[in-house]
Amino acid sequence: MPIRAALLRDHLRFRPALAVYCSGMAEVSPVAWPIYKLFDQLGRYLVCYMLIHNYYAWRHAGGRAPTLAALQRVAGSSERQTAGFVAALKAGRFVIVDDDPTDGRQKLLRPAPAMVAEIGRSVRLFIAAMDAVDQNTPPRAALFSDADLLGDVLQRSAAHVLANGTLLHGFPTVLYFAERDCGYPLLSAVMGAHYAATLPGVPPAVPLTVRALAQRFQVSPAHIGNLLGEAERQGWFSLEPAGPSVSEALVGEFEAWAAGQMAHYEEIADETRNFFDMAS
């Protein structure tokens, strides 16, 4: 996979494909959110990611029953925080509680298709980026509009993380944004604007004013201002009237991160396709 990622970065279609990925990540989510953002912050995202892993590992790979207790063991947050967040997910109908068919005392946590789609948005867009680089016809990404196929990809990815550690290791600036509310979509919007200013034929930049970004990502203007201020202080990027000025170091880090993700999900998507082909 590291060799595949390195080859991707040298491909002529890599940056245009990454520009389309950034545009997709910066889109307004089609999901009607509850009171606060549920998924666009790494800690909450990981709870959902592992909930999806537990359900599809149980359904497809003989894993343990996907109970709240099982989730609390792998969620990466305290038992109380995990339980409270799962309660919010249930209230928002992102998680369904089923009776265990083999043990009536247990309740199983099943991710709703809307949650799988939103947690898997970056996954589908990275697979689509691989399709664009490889010029796949028909595109592989189209398959993963199916919640069960996408859920299986997320389960396999999470199993890799549990065995080998987070995929964000080694990308400190990407991690910084991922740990903040809506930080990663904001970073994607800035990188998309960078590509829009430097590459022909890619999606146009989204508006990068504080007000426009706050409305787009449903957070306060003060929060957006804090993120942008920290980015400028650290020398990562600054927003200029002609477009964002992004440091070469951040461009390199973001592209290395993206190439690794594309290679990771390409391999796992092929495993999922083979699994469902054999099962059918």
The percent of the chain in helix, strand and coil, each rounded to the nearest 5, is 65, 10, 25
- pLDDT given for residue 38 in this prediction: 66
pLDDT at 245: 96
Residue 129 burial by CB count (10 A; 0-12/13-18/19+): exposed, middle or buried? buried
What is the percentage of the chain residues whose pLDDT exceeds 90?
A: 71
- Residue 256, CA distances (Å) to 4, 120, 175 in order: 11, 20, 13
Closest C-alpha among 194, 193, 177, 209 to residue 40: 177
Q: Which residues, listed in sequence order, are joined to residue 240 by a DSSP beta bridge? A: 243
Parallel, antiparallel, or unpaired: how do β-strands 237-240 and 103-111 relate? unpaired
Candidates 151, 135, 133; CA nearest to 143 is 151
Report DSSP state, residue 181.
T
Whether the bond into 138 is cis, omega within 30 of 0: yes
pLDDT of residue 150: 96
Alpha helices for 168-219 (secondary structure H): 172-178, 183-198, 210-217
pLDDT the model gives residue 63: 93
Residue 97 β-bridge partners: 109
Q: How much is the pLDDT for 276?
A: 84
Q: Are 52 and 93 in contact (CB under 8 A)?
A: no
pLDDT score, position 177: 96
What pLDDT score was predicted for residue 280? 62
- CA 68 → CA 151, 248, 260, distances in Å? 18, 44, 31
List the structure tokens of 224: 């957006």
Element (H, E) at 109: strand 103-111
Six token digits for residue 205: 């930049």
User: What pLDDT score does 41 carry?
Assistant: 85
Ranges in the chain, pLDDT < 70: 1, 30-38, 280
Give the model confidence (pLDDT) of 239-251 as tens digits: 988 889 999 999 9
Please, are residues 99 and 137 in contact by the beta-carbon 8 Å criterion?
A: no
Buried b (16+ CB within 10 A) or exposed e, 93-123: ebbeeeeeeeeeebebbbbbebbbbbbbbbb
Give 135-149 pLDDT, tens digit per residue: 988 888 889 999 999
